[in-house]
Amino acid sequence: MYNIIQTILIIDAILIIIAVMMQPSKQQDALNALSGGGGDLFSQQKKRGFEAFMEKVTVVLGIIFFVCALVLVYLSSH
C-alpha cells in the first residue's frame, strides 16, 4: 500500500510540474506587483478557457499531492 501511494505521489508531482509549466505567462501581473498595480484596479477579468482549466487542474493535482503525502505520513507512523 505504501509503495502504491508513493508512486502516485511521484506521478502527481511530475504532473504538477507539467501543469504549472503549461499555464500562460503572467508577465503583466509580475509588473503590477513591482509597480503597485494601480492602473489595473478596475480591469480585473475572470479567467476563461485554457487558463481557467489549467488553474483547476493545478488545484486538483495539489489537493491529491497533499492527501497522498498525509496518507504516507500516517502509514509510516503506524
pTM tops 0.75 = no
**What does the pLDDT read at residue 12?**
97
d(CA 60, CA 62): 5
Contact 9, 71 (CB under 8 A): no
pLDDT digits (tens, 9 = 90+) for 2-45: 999 999 999 999 999 999 999 877 666 556 666 665 555 555 66
Residue 54 C-alpha cell reads as 489549467
> What are the residue ranges spanned by the domains of the chain?
1-23+47-78
Where are the extended beta strands (E) located within the chain?
none
